[in-house]
Amino acid sequence: MKILLVSNGIPPEKKGGTEIYTYTLAKHLAGRNLEVGIIAFSEKVKDKSIEFKREDNISIYTIGNKASRLNPIKRFKSTYFNKKLDTVILKVINEFKPDLLHIQHLIKLSSGFLEKINIPYIVTLNDFWFICPLIQMLKPSGILCDNSNPGNCMECIRQKYHLALTANLLIPFGVKLVRERNKYLVNILNNANAVISPSFFLMDVHKKNGINNKNFKVLRYGLDIRRFILPDIKKNTDKFKIIYIGSILPHKGLDILVKVFQKLKIKRNPELHIYGYNGGDDKYFNTWARTIPEENIFFHGAIDNTDVPKILKQMNLLVVPSKWYENSPIIIYESYLSELPFLVSDLGGMKELVEVTGAGAVFQVGDSSNLAENIKSIIIQTEAFDFKPEFKNEININNHVIRLEELYNELF
């Protein structure tokens, strides 16, 4: 069987959870004697061009896509439907000749090609892109959203991009464009042969917003758990090391963690270690991604995923202070596999992982006092976490791939 994965990028160029999972999945599918290919967006490839390479027994096709800067209407539509890019993607599909497509993400790519293929396709949901033009179901004001009403979506777009008051005249037309986008992408999901969600929360939100695919399944991400089998490290009991790993953007909430840490008063000598990359907001990045030695705050820059296990092994607590729902953050899986307790905002997929892993706790999103109280509580009673062993079996990449291959065979 020939499987072609489609993603918004792959490592080492892109280091987000979706990209890491996509490549991990591809390697393990190839290890089961399947022919595997990946179509991935790359900023390094010329517009509408294809670059090919073979790596880890995977056929990798990276595609360039430069957004139009001339026509805002075309630019908006091209974020999900781009005829020229569809032609390029179809060229790869015709060359590779897959038996099945597995979509991981279409941002930076297009979706129109799915209407022109005669093979089954599966979609794994990794965020809210299909139902939210701004992806995160988070309004520019910081208020969480749970529905894809076109009028509300257009107002979010107006606020985010600081459209002038004269743009109000174009709001009705903008609402029409958003309605068309949402309807089109909902149909893409409903016409898929299967839709996979890594969390029940993400599945429920999509169902609420019109996704009624009869083959909608929850399947957690799969990780290579062997990477986390490391020798025990003797930790300095005089220190308490807190770690943040992720992109550095306002909705990720690093600012809250830094402010709380700066006021944290505990007997053990606390340290805050920040690993991450600039997600595109230079002002935010330069403000919060800093080393302040006198305050025991250390910024280490972006982290290679191969180094994550050994870094986590040295820490005492992972904090994920996100202000948006999140889906099912892979860093939380990695924290669990490292037997490292985690503290997360009480939202969406993060809260769900606390319940299923037994390895973490929640704090009230955006509440500095509650975050500080929970950090102090965890320092006192780290033995309170039971690290449920069944979750390890569930996310073992070998078991994950077996379940996926069963699904592929059902559809092929």
| Together in a domain, 19 and 132 | yes
- In 3D space, the residue among 359, 278, 370 whose CA is nearest the CA of residue 321 turns out to be 370
Q: How far apart are alpha carbons 257 and 243 in whole angstroms?
A: 10
In whole angstroms, how far apart are CA 389 and each of 143, 229, 378, 394? 36, 14, 21, 9
| Together in a domain, 376 and 401 | no
Q: Is 148 helix (H, G, I), strand (E, B) or coil?
A: coil
Strands (E), 231-336: 239-245, 269-275, 297-301, 317-320
| Together in a domain, 212 and 246 | no
pLDDT at 256: 97
| Together in a domain, 182 and 82 | yes
| Together in a domain, 264 and 210 | no
What range does the domain containing 262 cover? 225-394
Residue 167 domain-assigned?
A: no
| Together in a domain, 327 and 216 | no
- In 3D space, the residue among 86, 125, 121, 118 whose CA is nearest the CA of residue 101 turns out to be 121
Looking up residue 263, the CATH number of its domain turns out to be 3.40.50.2000
pLDDT at 67: 77
| Together in a domain, 282 and 309 | yes
Query: Exposed, middle or buried: residue 237 (CB in 10 Å: 0-12, 13-18, 19+)?
Result: exposed
pLDDT at 211: 97
Per-residue pLDDT tens over the stretch 370-388: 999 999 999 887 667 989 9
pLDDT at 163: 66
Per-residue pLDDT tens over the stretch 303-349: 989 999 999 999 999 999 999 999 999 999 999 999 999 999 999 99
pLDDT at 173: 82
Residue 320 domain-assigned?
A: yes
| Together in a domain, 296 and 213 | no
List, in order, residues 6 or more apart from 300 with CB less than 8 Å away: 273, 274, 275
DSSP 290: -
List, in order, residues 6 or more apart from 92 with CB less than 8 Å away: 4, 37, 39, 50, 61, 63
289-322 as b/e, with b when 16 or more CB fall inside 10 Å?
A: beeeeeebbbbeeebebeebbebbbebbbbbbbb
| Together in a domain, 212 and 280 | no
Number of domains in the chain: 2
pLDDT at 240: 92
Residue ranges in the chain whose pLDDT is less than 70: 69-70, 163-170, 382-383
| Together in a domain, 229 and 138 | no
pLDDT at 70: 59
Query: Whole-number mean pLDDT of the chain?
Result: 92
pLDDT at 235: 72
